[in-house]
Amino acid sequence: MANFPDIGLRRAQGSSDSDNLRGAWWMIASCAAATAMSVAVRLLADDMTTVQMAFLRSVLGIFLLVPLFARAAVAHQPMPVQYTRPWLHIFRGLLFGLATTFGFYALAHLPLATATTLFFMAPVFATVFAALFAGEGVGPRRWAAVVAAFIGALIILRPGVIPLNWSMVAAVFSALLFAIALLITRPLSQADGGASVMLSSNVVASVVLGVPAMLLWVPVPVAAWGAVAVLVLSSSARMYADVRSYSLADAGFLAPFAFLRLLFIAAAGWIVFREGIDGPTLAGATIIVGASVFIAWREAMLKRQHTSRQ
C-alpha cells in the first residue's frame, strides 16, 4: 500500500483494536473528502480548464499550511521544514502537479466511478516500481495480484473494442505519476518531514502549472468560487485524514475501508449527475479493488513478520 506523508505522526505498528477503529473512522472521513473533491471537480468542469483547477488547488493549498507554521512560531519552535534533497522535492512537485492535472481531466470527462477505479491502479504501479527500481522483494502472490489488476484495467479500457478514450488514458497516467510520487515520498518524508513535502509539492506545482494556467485562464464566475473552496478544502482534508488513519491503524486493516471511496463516489455520481456503471467497468473495478486490497494486506502481513523477527 502506498505510504502517505508523515506530518509529525508515525505510522502504526501493531495497532490495538481501539486504534484500528479510530483509524477506520479517519479513513471513512478521507473517502468522504475525496468524494466531495471529485464532485467539485465535475461541477467546475464547465467553468474552467482542468489545469486552472489544479493551479488554484496548489496555490490555495499553500495558504492552508500557514496555521502549521504560525503554531510553530507562536510556540518558539523551529519551522517544520527543511530541504536536504531539493532536486528530489522539485521532481516530486512536478509529478504532483502533472498527476493532479491529468486526474482532474479524467474526473471532468469520465463517469466519476470509472475515473476513481482507474486511480486505484496507483498502489499497483507503486508495487511494480518498488520491485524494479527500489529493490523491494515482491513474491509470486503479489505479482499475480498486479497482473490481475492490469487485466481489470484492460477490461475497463477495452482496447480494440471501443475507440481510444483519452480521458481513461489520462486517469491511468495520473495513477502512474502518483505511484512514482508516492515512492519518492517515503525517503523525503523520513529525511525532511511531511510538512516540507506538502509545502514543496504545492509550491513547485504552482510554478509548473502557472504558465499554462495563465494561457488557458478563463474568468471564474462568482458562483463557482464556492466549488473552488470545496475543492481545496476537501483535497487537503483528505490528505490529513489519510495521515491520521495510517498513523493509527495497520495498512492491511485499512485497505477495505479505503476502497469505500469507490462506493461513495459511485453513489455521488448517480445522485448528483445520474451516472451509472456499465458491466465491464463493474467487472474491472471488482478485479482492481480485490487485487489492490490483497497487495495492501500482503505487504502489511510481511511487515509484521519482519518486525516480529527483530
Within-domain flag for 12: no
pLDDT of res. 64: 85
Per-residue pLDDT tens digits for 258-283: 888 989 999 999 999 999 888 888 89
- Position of cell 483519452? 166
> CA–CA distance from 58 to each of 80, 104, 173, 219 (Å)?
19, 13, 19, 18
The pTM of the full predicted model, rounded to 2 decimals, is 0.85
pLDDT of res. 193: 78
Per-residue pLDDT tens digits for 26-64: 989 999 999 999 999 999 999 999 999 999 999 998 888
Within-domain flag for 211: yes
Within-domain flag for 13: no
pLDDT of res. 140: 84
Range of the domain at 187: 20-309
- The DSSP string of 278-298 is -HHHHHHHHHHHHHHHHHHHH
Q: Output the average pLDDT for the chain.
A: 84
pLDDT of res. 239: 80
Number of domains in the chain: 1
Within-domain flag for 263: yes
Within-domain flag for 4: no
Judge contact between 248 and 20, C-beta under 8 A: yes
- The DSSP string of 176-192 is HHHHHHHHHHHHHHHHH
What ranges make up the beta strands (E) of 136-266?
A: none
pLDDT of res. 7: 37
Within-domain flag for 48: yes
pLDDT of res. 17: 61
Judge contact between 152 and 285, C-beta under 8 A: yes
Virtual torsion, Cα 51, 185, 110, 257, nearest 10 deg:
-140
Please give the Cα distance from 254 to 245 (Å, whole number). 8
Q: What is the mean pLDDT of residues 273-302?
A: 84
Local structure of 159: helix, strand or coil: strand
Q: What is the mean pLDDT of residues 194-222?
A: 91
Within-domain flag for 34: yes
Within-domain flag for 8: no
